[in-house]
Amino acid sequence: MDRIRIVGGNELHGVIPISGAKNAALPLMIASLLTDDTLTLENVPHLADVEQLIRILGNHGADISVNGRRERQGESYARTIHFTSRNIVSTTAPYELVSKMRASFWVIGPLLAREGKARVSLPGGCAIGTRPVDLFIEGLTALGAEIEIDGGYVNAKAPEGGLLGGRYVFPKVSVGATHVLMMAATLANGTTVIGNAAREPEVADLARCLNAMGARISGHGTSTITIEGVRSLSGARHRVLPDRIETGTYAMAVAMAGGDVILEDTEASLLDTALEAIRRAGAEISETNSGIRIVRNGAGIRPVDIVTDPFPGFPTDLQAQFMGLMTKSTGVSHITETIFENRFMHVQELARLGAKISLSGQTAKIEGVSRLKGAPVMATDLRASVSLVIAGLAAEGETVVSRVYHLDRGFERLEEKLTRCGAHVERVSD
């Protein structure tokens, strides 16, 4: 099993290319089930989750072809993938596929809208909370679907003649359920209004792609999204937006290790709140023609309190990384997690490196230390795993992160990108 070995102490200098967003690519890929034409997606990252979803879509009958190219030696792949779902051969998403990745549950929306039925296993994914599917079920029920859960599967059936436009207000913001309801509503009869919708950039990116396919969606990027149903959707070509979580992660890595790095092919507007927190911690951040520049030379890391919130708030997917940064701050900081109830599993692993962290409910108190020391640690989920890498960059000696298959789900060629900027990071196999 692969591990990541880090020898801390090196500053980061150079350029890191930011990949396409995993959290945008997955719903965009699933949207290909809504049409029998070809949907072409550019800038798709090469990740374990993407490969798993390719297998799932193939199970439903999608024909998938991949074009990849390498611009410079050592740089990550920029891939273009063509999805053609001319015939849906199965409306069942089986447990053995869906259990490995929560986002694969989202096929329920397009299958129900296009085929009038879907049988989808209850989902799996990172163990960061219960993340129930009740919001998905309530939203689809508002469009006229009949849904029951039996034997670990969600069985959904549309009314004769297809789904019906309706109004649904989410009791709490859900990115995944917003994706699903928006996709399902594109082919519904009549107009659908989604209230308290997720405002994340990835939701807006999906809406732009669906509109290019012939959908009639407005209000994306706000808390109220309106979808006028159409009879059918066509193919389109769409470029996946930059990964704001990867952007924030590398910005925090530079703030932790020190140095001067350009993050290429990304946009500051995708993560203003997170970048402001990194600035408050002591890094200098500026926009460039090609992306974002992060600089921290000499100054200590200042303590910063944050609270995770739906967009435009501080992203829960950057909480673990920011905690890693705060372990070496010059004071006491507090991180409150409001999205997932079980997303502090990285705390005990950071403690192995010498971090001083205490928990009280959903708030972590981090007392910054002057020295972290390398140790063997274990990744517990996708974002927690990279927080250990960030801490390891500033720890004395060697840190070895095991269970890095979590990293491979969401970070494309992480060790290559960091190594090119001077870090001592390598992948080792048993």
Task: Could you list the residues known to form a binding site for phosphoenolpyruvate, using ranges.
Answer: 22-23
* CA atoms in the 13 A half-sphere facing the CB of 176: 18
**Residue 327 main-chain phi, psi, to 5 deg:** -60, -25
Q: At what angle do helices 48-59 and 22-31 cross, to 10 degrees?
A: 10
Sheet order of strands, 306-307 included: 306-307, 332-336, 363-367, 356-360
The secondary structure of 30-83 as a DSSP string is HHGGG-SSEEEEEEE---HHHHHHHHHHHHTT-EEEEEEE-SSTTPPPEEEEEE
Query: What whole-number distance in Å separates Cα of residue 57 and Cα of residue 292?
Result: 35
Q: At what angle do helices 319-326 and 382-394 cross, to 10 degrees?
A: 20
- 210, two tokens: 């669906």
Q: Is 126 a catalytic residue?
A: yes
Active-site entry in 44, 53, 108, 126 = 126
Query: What whole-number distance in Å separates Cα of residue 350 and Cα of residue 402?
Result: 13
List the binding residues for UDP-N-acetyl-alpha-D-glucosamine: 102, 131-135, 172-175, 317, 339
Helix (H) or strand (E) holding 336: strand 332-336
Catalytic residues: 126
